Structure 1
Amino acid sequence: MKDLITNEIKKENAILVGLITPEQNEEKVNEYLYELAFLAETAGLTPAKRFVQRLETPNTVTFVGSGKLQEIKNYVEEEENEIGVVIFDDELSARQLRNIERELKIRIMDRTSLILDIFAMRAQTAHAKAQVELAQYQYLLPRLTRMWTHLERQRGGGGTIMRGPGETQLETDRRIILDKISRLKQELKEIDKQKSVQRKNRGKLVRVALVGYTNVGKSTLMNLLSKSEVFAENKLFATLDTTVRKVTIENLPFLLTDTVGFIRKLPTHLIESFKSTLDEVREADILVHVVDISHPAFEEQIEVVEKTLFEIDETEKPSILVFNKIDAFSHVEKDEDDLTPKKRENYTLEELKQTWMHKMKENCIFISAREKTNIDNLKQIIYDKVKEIHITRFPYNDFLYQNYEEEE
């Protein structure tokens, strides 16, 4: 929306809503809402206000209680707040969505639909666009109500929709969406075949995949290791399309893949529709798990990534844990008189290094991709792991490696 005076695009103000439950305490909810605010900003919105309520379970009718919903409504109706959208941190059911929208009379989103919107904005290639579109329709299908605009206006191909006797608009819209889902699945099946052929054509080179939470610096690291210019930006999901580069460290070539970042509560529709992109993770020989050590909830992010990786592929693979952004790390000094146990924010970088490097041994390293700190050591670790797999595939080259090392 443009401001008529300044001619600048004015961002919509958004309200963020979260719940404190037995499963997620206040500290965790605040962290989730901080991330939701980052998602909203990535989508071009301005987070203006947060509403949090403590409930045993989400209200099945309106997600929050009636009193909290009225509080949100009062805030929305105050003209000076200029609220354009209310975003809920958890996925809303069709019933909740319908009831909240009816009460607030404003656009309602949940975390899933917000992530889908960002993916739609970020998609560049036909492949990524088809994947996102499929996920959006799969999300929309169970939430169809008569409040949605008629979908036949969006139907492509020049065909017209003829409704049968007694067929309601809702039934027509459902039929259109099912038709689109079927078409997109077929389209993606064809693209998947092409991608599969491309992967086979890469030969037996060892494959290394960069994985991690969104916005941890994977693309920056990809640029450093491959000496390429992969798009990197301080925003969530800066890149969606998988990038593959041939990299050579010393005398050893291998394939390096930059994959889409993971996030808490990643929509199942996205995991399903991005199957071919995630095939790069399945087919990788080595995983380089990049972590933002400066993030206050980095340990939880590690758990989210590991859980998602297990859902994608249960096969155990050699992995390297790379703690990035040591240049941005900070900690809070603990008062000597404070006898309570140390919290995460009280640990120094050296203490965290000792903890994780003791646990992971040689499979752990601390770096700064931005400042290029400790990159040579990381290259050496990757080289050693790639070589270990490479010589089992190309045993003839083992003699060459030995000679090379002797000369060095």
Structure 2
Amino acid sequence: MEKVILVAVHLQDHMNFEEELEEMKQLILACEMEVSSTLIQKLRNPNKKTCINAGKVEEVAHRLYLDEVQTVVFNCDLSPSQQQALQSIWNCEVMDRTYLILQIFQKRAKTKEAFLQVEVATLQYFLPRLKGSYTHMDRQKGGNRNKGLGEKKIEIDSRTISVQIQRAKKELKQLEAQRKLQRQQRNKNQIKKVCLVGYTNTGKSSILNAMVSKQVFEKDMLFATLTTSTRKIQYNHHEFLLSDTVGFVSNLPHSLVEAFHSTLEEILDADLLIHVMDLNSKNLEAQKEVTLQTLSQLKADSIPIINVYNKCDLSGHMYPLVQNQNVYMSAKEDVGPLLEVIDSFLFKTREMKFKIPYGNVFYQIQKQGKILEKEYLEDGIVLKVEMDEEFVSNYIKYLE
């Protein structure tokens, strides 16, 4: 596993530095790299040229030599000029937080849509970083009319990248249109939809897998899932669609939110959101806030939400337990309590008594309700049925 040096910039007004530093180490691990040394720089304001001060630049250079590593990772975003200056000084690869997350997304992308979304975000990241990449190609002639070879190369590459971005966005538009048609078909079928949302690696995919036979990928690592997986769930004579979405993370780069907009748009069509949290996490409250902020950014904060505190088996908290809109559980052991809460929220039922004629009506009621009692008479069948309120109007004439 490749070793890297982590440079952590701690600004004075940064309140959650320790939590975000730990998350950064997890992101590096998710990128299949290992932190050999962590150097912390306390600053009032970042240095405009190198982000960190001159003394810390020398300290990092010395640590690169001692640790024999070729990569430095920053816990913050760097401007193109800062990144280029540091790479020139240290003669090694310098990665900022956004580029690290892009690398993770590239490794995790499995579907065509995910590949295109990551491609767009990556190309947009590199476009402003072309300038300064051709310093070895100096101007050969002066004057306004005769440009050097370096400038020509930048212009060509800039146009190439812009064309690639437009091509990828066009393909994404086509996939987005297909996804929109699928959503319209689901809405036409009037099937309820539930979305699993939350911080990355809180157990969303584990919950989905516990409810279905066709499994989705899950692993104990950040950003294990980049695509939205949807499965039909059948429970208590009801059906609904359950979707697993890409996990959130603090300060998720805007380019990634924009690139994954069509995927995250699934959330907006949900009748109910399941906010999954890792009760065992030390950063529970901060992660909860990140999720709520992201939902607000997506304009999905008005959708009803159920809070699921997962991994209770690791935390010592009592489970399974349901308290109003809060569910305490372990996805590895039992998702029954969560299914009950979802069912009771989505489907408002009433107990009704019908007298129906022999024939197709019986089979229709059997599909749309739960038959509790039945009595066969000469002139029909008397049924005691638990039925969703939306279907009751179809059988008013048969009410007893």
TM-score by length of structure 2 reads: 0.81
Q: Secondary structure at the match of 1:168?
A: helix
Check 1:279–1:404 CA distance in 2 against 1; reply closer, same or farther (3 A cut). farther
Q: Secondary structure at the match of 1:301?
A: helix
Structure 2 residue 324 is matched with structure 1 residue 362? yes
Q: Report if aligned partners of 2:6, 2:35 keep a CA contact under 8 Å in 1.
A: yes
Deviation of the 1:403 alpha carbon: 5.0
Q: Which has the larger radius of gyration?
A: 2
- Following the alignment from structure 2 to structure 1, what is the Cα–Cα distance between the partners of residues 331 and 134? 46
Q: 2:168 aligns with which of 178, 184, 206?
A: 184
Alignment of 1:49-88 (within 5 A): 49-78=37-66, 81-88=67-74
- Following the alignment from structure 1 to structure 2, what is the Cα–Cα distance between the partners of residues 135 and 362? 40
Check 1:247–1:99 CA distance in 2 against 1; reply closer, same or farther (3 A cut). same
Q: Secondary structure at the match of 1:296?
A: coil
Letter in 1 for 2:330: S
What corresponds to 1:138 in structure 2? 124
- Following the alignment from structure 1 to structure 2, what is the Cα–Cα distance between the partners of residues 29 and 169? 41
What corresponds to 1:326 in structure 2? 312
Q: Report if aligned partners of 1:18, 1:29 keep a CA contact under 8 Å in 2.
A: no
Check 1:353–1:371 CA distance in 2 against 1; reply closer, same or farther (3 A cut). closer
- Following the alignment from structure 2 to structure 1, what is the Cα–Cα distance between the partners of residues 98 and 347? 41
Structure 2 residue 5 is matched with structure 1 residue 15? yes
Q: 2:23 aligns with which of 32, 35, 49?
A: 35
- Following the alignment from structure 1 to structure 2, what is the Cα–Cα distance between the partners of residues 388 and 22? 52
Check 1:365–1:71 CA distance in 2 against 1; reply closer, same or farther (3 A cut). same
- Following the alignment from structure 2 to structure 1, what is the Cα–Cα distance between the partners of residues 18 and 301? 34
| Uncovered stretches (5+) of structure 2, i.e. residues with no partner | 137-144, 350-363, 374-383, 387-400
Q: Report if aligned partners of 2:320, 2:330 keep a CA contact under 8 Å in 1.
A: no
CA offsets 1:314-371 (integer angstroms, 9 cap, x no match): 45111100000111116xxxxxxxxxxxxxxxxxx46x999xx8xxx51101111123
- Following the alignment from structure 2 to structure 1, what is the Cα–Cα distance between the partners of residues 235 and 135? 55
Q: Report if aligned partners of 1:146, 1:169 keep a CA contact under 8 Å in 2.
A: no
- Following the alignment from structure 2 to structure 1, what is the Cα–Cα distance between the partners of residues 73 and 266? 32
What corresponds to 1:336 in structure 2? none
Check 1:148–1:300 CA distance in 2 against 1; reply closer, same or farther (3 A cut). farther
| Uncovered stretches (5+) of structure 1, i.e. residues with no partner | 1-10, 151-163, 331-348, 390-395
RMSD: 2.6
Check 1:126–1:328 CA distance in 2 against 1; reply closer, same or farther (3 A cut). same
Check 1:219–1:66 CA distance in 2 against 1; reply closer, same or farther (3 A cut). same
Structure 2 residue 228 is matched with structure 1 residue 242? yes
Letter in 1 for 2:237: N
- Following the alignment from structure 1 to structure 2, what is the Cα–Cα distance between the partners of residues 305 and 67? 38
Structure 2 residue 161 is matched with structure 1 residue 173? no
Q: Report if aligned partners of 2:320, 2:337 keep a CA contact under 8 Å in 1.
A: no
Q: Secondary structure at the match of 1:255?
A: strand
Deviation of the 1:226 alpha carbon: 2.5
Check 1:284–1:404 CA distance in 2 against 1; reply closer, same or farther (3 A cut). farther
- Following the alignment from structure 1 to structure 2, what is the Cα–Cα distance between the partners of residues 58 and 402? 64
- Following the alignment from structure 2 to structure 1, what is the Cα–Cα distance between the partners of residues 98 and 365? 49
Letter in 1 for 2:123: Y
Structure 2 residue 366 is matched with structure 1 residue 378? no
- Following the alignment from structure 1 to structure 2, what is the Cα–Cα distance between the partners of residues 398 and 270? 46
TM-score by length of structure 1 reads: 0.80
Once the two structures are aligned, what percentage of the paired residues are identical?
36
Q: Secondary structure at the match of 2:324?
A: helix
- Following the alignment from structure 1 to structure 2, what is the Cα–Cα distance between the partners of residues 262 and 368? 20
Q: Report if aligned partners of 1:130, 1:188 keep a CA contact under 8 Å in 2.
A: yes
Q: Report if aligned partners of 1:16, 1:33 keep a CA contact under 8 Å in 2.
A: no
When structure 1 is superposed on structure 2, of 15-24 and 252-261 the one drifting more is 15-24
Q: Report if aligned partners of 1:215, 1:237 keep a CA contact under 8 Å in 2.
A: yes
Letter in 1 for 2:8: G
CA offsets 1:195-235 (integer angstroms, 9 cap, x no match): 11111122321110000100000000001122331111011
- Following the alignment from structure 2 to structure 1, what is the Cα–Cα distance between the partners of residues 206 and 146? 58
Q: Report if aligned partners of 2:8, 2:75 keep a CA contact under 8 Å in 1.
A: yes
Q: Secondary structure at the match of 2:77?
A: coil
What corresponds to 2:299 in structure 1? 313
- Following the alignment from structure 1 to structure 2, what is the Cα–Cα distance between the partners of residues 227 and 195? 23
- Following the alignment from structure 2 to structure 1, what is the Cα–Cα distance between the partners of residues 305 and 232? 19
Check 1:388–1:87 CA distance in 2 against 1; reply closer, same or farther (3 A cut). farther
Deviation of the 1:120 alpha carbon: 0.6
Deviation of the 1:165 alpha carbon: 7.2
- Following the alignment from structure 1 to structure 2, what is the Cα–Cα distance between the partners of residues 259 and 247? 16
Check 1:88–1:201 CA distance in 2 against 1; reply closer, same or farther (3 A cut). same
Letter in 1 for 2:175: I
Q: Report if aligned partners of 1:88, 1:110 keep a CA contact under 8 Å in 2.
A: yes
Bigger strand fraction: 2
What corresponds to 1:345 in structure 2? none
Q: 1:387 aligns with which of 330, 347, 353?
A: 347
What corresponds to 2:358 in structure 1? none
Deviation of the 1:32 alpha carbon: 1.5
